[in-house]
């Protein structure tokens, strides 16, 4: 157990003690006990910086299930460290924010912080695990803790709906990912990611490569809310705002991004990877941005904007994977896509976190998040307004904030896609920058709506529950820190380039690096009249026009998007599945014993007949048969007649007597076939059975005493003829293909010498195979006790009095 492992599970350990602290220290907000941990962890992870900057990675392993190659291997490399810093850093800020956001006396704080710590540990585990099974375990723990957090206010219907939806979708993707991991294990024979990566070239043409790729991508797309799986994210906004800020903007939704980045060295060179990641990303980007404009709830706007920005990062990772096709570093212009992806990942975490917190403050201080009720609160909440405007401008991609830089790089990457000479991108590649540009225009519009509809315009005090006023300082600290980062990263982007971005790129594109090389990242070329600059200018101009005329064209939304909304489809599928399976189960589980017997017999016939003829097992030979005698034929006719007459017997008495007749004939068969003990037993037992049948017959209920013949049913007849035929056929083929002699010679020879008996059957029963007899006696004993109990025990009567 190293310090690194301890760091990963530290939140889990702390979560055990939180309820304890909560009970003992009633006066202190439980969040204060949580806060030191993420700060400590953040500092601890900072100490890894020098190591990853020099291109090294740090691995620690403890055994978990070594026989299955499942070990808790923790690995810190550039990518893992970047995510760990995000998780712990934003985690600390969110905990601080939540201390002021959630009231001490009204909320179930113990639950909240336990769930939050579970989530933090799970996220750290996902990004720092080198063993894929362990990563999967943490991955499901994130889904699970996110489910708990979304359903935090479980007394609300919408929370439960949102929690269930996110659970179903992310677990669906998680299971697909597990499938992908197992396929990778089949191909490479290891769960260790480092080893899988080193075998990437060997498995490239394996038949399971593409299925594994698709499974892994499915996991990433569901977790990162990509099209069409984004639908859970807007509903997850029912969670408390700190949760939305933490999980649904900065960390959990980026687990899918992490997965794609992590697996780029394995799958990146495949055409499908490039195509799916890039085009799904672009589609999500434009879809999310178009729908965000329509929303009227602050958090809903932010949710769709998160979806859209995640699509942007995803598309950049896809385009970055194309860099793997160009095996030289100096002139490789496509690596800029990866740089942009990582840079935007950081930027998005900062500005989206601050925007969520600002939205939470507005909600907290005015009582609503509806932009139709808000407006003109700029003067009441100047600090919140400043935070929001910086966050929103960064989101829209305006200088001098960090969003501007990453958006410029995004355009650079998208423009470069058109220059690729692979996959026919010279022709249809032009779609990428065009779609990206349109999406950015919408991004600009919703960012402006977010800020200006909330804070400027006419103040409507009559629609607000509370009198708006500035938030307490405690609530403001975290968003202020985040927006300062927005500005710092905007003005001094190269602060990050060597420390975080370059090592992370080295983890995503390791094959492009020779020994001792490192990526030279310089985010300083934002001067100069490049095409990207004009694209940004175009966005600002068109965006301003669209924003000003928003009230005119927003009616278009009323017609289109309702039909395109995928929520309806999801609800339809969910309800459909339920009702269809309910109906289906009711159709075949109808409660009638007869139909179940029909199924059982029908399957018996079909399976046996298929095997018999499918395997060419049917045989018929007369070489082994004995001669037919007159008495046997007579008995056979009697048995057949007797049993068939039962079918047509009208009275039950007749059928019982016929059954007795068949039984006695069978005992005569035993006489003819030289089985005296059997004949004796059969005679006695048949007599007792018939007597018992007559007892039952005598006690038939009075109400239905009139007796009817059995009604003919075609299905029953077919089934029973089938059963009879299949038994005959199997008996014939079994007898015709005798493979070896009986072992009974031993019994014949040793009955007297070994067991001192002359009756072989009896000696077998009590000596050679005495255990059978012992338990047969037990069966009889149990049956008699059962019968005694059934007759004597009348619990029901007693209860009724």
Near another protein in 542-601, by CB under 8 A: 591-594, 597-598, 601
- Could you tell me if 355 and 388 are in contact, meaning their C-beta atoms sit under 8 angstroms apart? yes
Residue 662 lies near another protein (rule: CB under 8 A): yes
Residue among 78, 80, 311, 663 that touches another protein (CB under 8 A): 663
- Could you tell me if 45 and 88 are in contact, meaning their C-beta atoms sit under 8 angstroms apart? yes
Comparison of 422 and 636: residue with beta carbon closer to another protein = 636
Q: How far is the CB of 136 from another protein (least distance, A)?
A: 39
Residue 689 lies near another protein (rule: CB under 8 A): yes
- Could you tell me if 168 and 229 are in contact, meaning their C-beta atoms sit under 8 angstroms apart? no
Cα separation, 80 vs 135, in Å, equals 12
Residue 798 lies near another protein (rule: CB under 8 A): no
Q: How far is the CB of 606 from another protein (least distance, A)?
A: 15
Q: How far is the CB of 482 from another protein (least distance, A)?
A: 51
Give the largest CA-CA distance in the chain: 115
What residues numbered 767-796 form the site for another protein, per CB under 8 A?
A: 769, 772-773, 776, 779-780, 782-784, 786-787, 790-791, 796
- Could you tell me if 237 and 292 are in contact, meaning their C-beta atoms sit under 8 angstroms apart? no
Residue 728 lies near another protein (rule: CB under 8 A): yes
Please identify, among the stretches 296-304, 464-472, 578-586, 635-643, the one whose residues bind another protein according to the rule CB under 8 A: 635-643
Comparison of 47 and 753: residue with beta carbon closer to another protein = 753
Q: How far is the CB of 617 from another protein (least distance, A)?
A: 15
Name every residue whose Cβ is closer than 8 Å to that of residue 708 and which is 6 or more positions away in sequence. Answer: 650
Residue 701 lies near another protein (rule: CB under 8 A): yes
Residue 739 main-chain phi, psi, to 5 deg: -95, -35
Instruction: Reply yes or no: is the peptide bond before residue 242 cis, omega within 30 of 0.
Output: no
Q: What tokens were used for 404?
A: 């501007």
What residues numbered 748-767 form the site for another protein, per CB under 8 A?
A: 748, 751-752, 758-761, 764-765
Residue 61 lies near another protein (rule: CB under 8 A): no
What residues numbered 610-629 form the site for another protein, per CB under 8 A?
A: 622, 624-629
Cα separation, 150 vs 172, in Å, equals 17
Collapse the DSSP code of 129 into the 3-class scheme (helix H, G, I; strand E, B; otherwise coil) and give the result.
strand
Comparison of 516 and 789: residue with beta carbon closer to another protein = 789
Identify the helix (H) or strand (E) that includes residue 148. helix 132-150
Residue 607 lies near another protein (rule: CB under 8 A): no
Cα separation, 78 vs 498, in Å, equals 11
Please identify, among the stretches 193-201, 433-441, 489-497, 732-740, the one whose residues bind another protein according to the rule CB under 8 A: 732-740
Q: How far is the CB of 472 from another protein (least distance, A)?
A: 49
User: In residues, how long is the chain?
Assistant: 801
Residue among 572, 734, 737, 754 that touches another protein (CB under 8 A): 734
Q: How far is the CB of 277 from another protein (least distance, A)?
A: 50
Residue among 634, 640, 650, 737 that touches another protein (CB under 8 A): 640
Cα separation, 276 vs 158, in Å, equals 33
Please identify, among the stretches 95-103, 115-123, 300-308, 721-729, the one whose residues bind another protein according to the rule CB under 8 A: 721-729
Q: What tokens were used for 373?
A: 């009720």
Residue 650 lies near another protein (rule: CB under 8 A): no
Q: How far is the CB of 259 from another protein (least distance, A)?
A: 44
Identify the helix (H) or strand (E) that includes residue 338. helix 335-366
Q: How far is the CB of 635 from another protein (least distance, A)?
A: 9
Q: DSSP secondary-structure letter at 617?
A: -
Q: DSSP secondary-structure letter at 367?
A: S
Cα separation, 472 vs 30, in Å, equals 19
Residue 59 lies near another protein (rule: CB under 8 A): no
Comparison of 531 and 793: residue with beta carbon closer to another protein = 793
Instruction: Reply yes or no: is the peptide bond before residue 694 cis, omega within 30 of 0.
Output: no
Residue among 36, 562, 724, 754 that touches another protein (CB under 8 A): 724
Helix axes 382-396 and 473-491, enclosed angle (nearest 10): 30
Please identify, among the stretches 203-211, 248-256, 312-320, 668-676, the one whose residues bind another protein according to the rule CB under 8 A: 668-676
- Could you tell me if 402 and 394 are in contact, meaning their C-beta atoms sit under 8 angstroms apart? yes
CA dihedral 198, 202, 204, 206 (to 10 degrees): -130
Q: How far is the CB of 154 from another protein (least distance, A)?
A: 22
Comparison of 28 and 717: residue with beta carbon closer to another protein = 717
Collapse the DSSP code of 69 into the 3-class scheme (helix H, G, I; strand E, B; otherwise coil) and give the result.
coil
Q: How far is the CB of 785 from another protein (least distance, A)?
A: 10
**Number of residues engaging another protein in binding (CB under 8 A):** 96
- Could you tell me if 351 and 394 are in contact, meaning their C-beta atoms sit under 8 angstroms apart? yes
Residue 695 lies near another protein (rule: CB under 8 A): yes
Residue among 704, 706, 795, 799 that touches another protein (CB under 8 A): 704
């Amino acid at each position: 157990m190293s310090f690194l492992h301890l760091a990963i599970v530290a939140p889990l350990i702390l979560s055990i003690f939180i309820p304890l602290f909560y009970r003992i220290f009633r006066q202190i907000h439980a969040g204060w006990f949580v806060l030191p941990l993420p700060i400590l962890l953040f500092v601890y992870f900072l100490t890894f910086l020098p190591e990853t900057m020099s291109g090294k990675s740090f691995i620690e392993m403890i055994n978990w299930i070594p026989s299955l190659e499942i070990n808790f291997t923790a690995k810190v490399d550039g990518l893992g460290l970047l995510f760990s810093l995000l998780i712990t850093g934003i985690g600390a800020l969110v905990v601080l924010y939540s201390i002021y956001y959630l009231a001490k006396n009204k909320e179930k704080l113990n639950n909240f912080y336990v769930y939050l710590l579970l989530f933090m540990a799970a996220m750290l585990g996902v990004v720092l695990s080198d063993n894929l099974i362990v990563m999967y375990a943490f991955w499901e723990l994130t889904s699970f803790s996110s489910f708990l957090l979304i359903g935090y206010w479980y007394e609300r219907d919408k929370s439960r709906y949102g929690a269930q939806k996110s659970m179903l979708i992310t677990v669906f993707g998680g299971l697909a990912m597990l499938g992908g991991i197992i396929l990778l294990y089949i191909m490479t024979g290891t769960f260790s990611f480092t080893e899988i990566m080193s075998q990437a070239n060997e498995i490239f043409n394996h038949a399971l490569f593409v299925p594994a790729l698709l499974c892994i991508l499915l996991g990433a797309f569901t977790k990162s809310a990509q099209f069409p799986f984004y639908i859970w994210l807007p509903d997850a906004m029912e969670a408390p705002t700190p949760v939305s800020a933490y999980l649904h903007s900065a960390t959990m939704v980026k687990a899918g991004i992490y997965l794609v980045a992590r697996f780029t060295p394995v799958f990146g060179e495949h055409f499908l990877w490039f195509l799916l990641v890039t085009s799904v990303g672009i589609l999500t980007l434009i879809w999310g941005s178009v729908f965000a404009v329509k929303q009227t709830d602050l958090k809903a706007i932010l949710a769709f904007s998160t979806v859209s920005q995640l699509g942007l990062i995803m598309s950049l990772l896809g385009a970055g994977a194309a860099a793997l096709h160009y095996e030289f570093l100096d002139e490789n212009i496509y690596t800029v896509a990866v740089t942009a992806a990582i840079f935007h990942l950081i930027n998005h975490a900062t500005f989206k976190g601050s925007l969520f917190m600002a939205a939470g403050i507005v909600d907290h201080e005015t009582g609503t998040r509806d932009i139709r009720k808000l407006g003109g609160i700029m003067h009441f909440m100047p600090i919140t307004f400043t935070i929001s405007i910086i966050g929103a401008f960064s989101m829209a991609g305006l200088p001098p904030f960090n969003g501007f830089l990453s958006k410029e790089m995004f355009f650079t990457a998208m423009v470069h896609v058109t220059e690729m000479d692979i996959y026919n991108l010279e022709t249809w590649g032009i779609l990428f920058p065009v779609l990206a540009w349109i999406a950015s225009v919408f991004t600009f519009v919703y960012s402006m709506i977010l800020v200006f509809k909330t804070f400027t315009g006419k103040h409507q005090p009559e629609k607000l529950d509370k009198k708006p006023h500035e938030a307490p300082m405690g609530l403001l600290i975290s968003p202020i820190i985040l927006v300062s980062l927005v500005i710092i990263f905007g003005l001094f982007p190269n602060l990050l380039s060597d420390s975080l971005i370059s090592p992370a790129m080295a983890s995503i594109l390791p094959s492009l690096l020779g020994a001792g090389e490192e990526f030279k990242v310089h985010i300083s070329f934002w001067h100069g009249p490049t095409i990207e600059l004009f694209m940004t200018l175009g966005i600002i101009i068109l965006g301003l026009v669209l924003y000003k005329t928003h009230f005119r064209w927003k009616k278009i939304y009323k017609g289109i998007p309702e039909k395109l909304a995928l929520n309806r489809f999801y609800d339809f599928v969910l309800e459909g599945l339920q009702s269809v399976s309910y109906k289906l189960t009711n159709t075949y589980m109808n409660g009638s014993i007869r139909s179940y017997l029909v199924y059982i017999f029908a399957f018996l016939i079909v399976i046996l007949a298929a095997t018999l003829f499918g395997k060419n097992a049917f045989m018929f030979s007369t070489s082994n048969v004995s001669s037919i005698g007159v008495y046997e034929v007579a008995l056979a006719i009697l048995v057949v007649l007797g049993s068939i007459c039962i079918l047509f017997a009208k009275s039950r008495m007749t059928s019982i007597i016929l059954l007795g007749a068949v039984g006695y004939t069978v005992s005569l068969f035993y006489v003819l076939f030289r089985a005296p003990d059997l004949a004796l037993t059969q005679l006695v037992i048949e007599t007792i059975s018939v007597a018992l049948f007559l007892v039952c017959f005598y006690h038939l209920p009075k109400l239905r005493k009139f007796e009817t013949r059995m009604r003919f049913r075609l299905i029953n007849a077919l089934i029973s003829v089938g059963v009879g035929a299949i038994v005959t056929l199997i008996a014939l083929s079994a007898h015709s293909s005798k493979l070896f002699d009986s072992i009974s010679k031993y019994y014949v020879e040793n009955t007297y010498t070994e067991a001192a008996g002359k009756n072989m059957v009896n000696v077998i029963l009590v000596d050679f195979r005495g255990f059978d007899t012992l338990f047969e006696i037990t069966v009889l004993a149990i049956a008699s006790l059962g019968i005694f109990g059934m007759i004597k025990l009348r619990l029901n009567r007693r209860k009724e009095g």
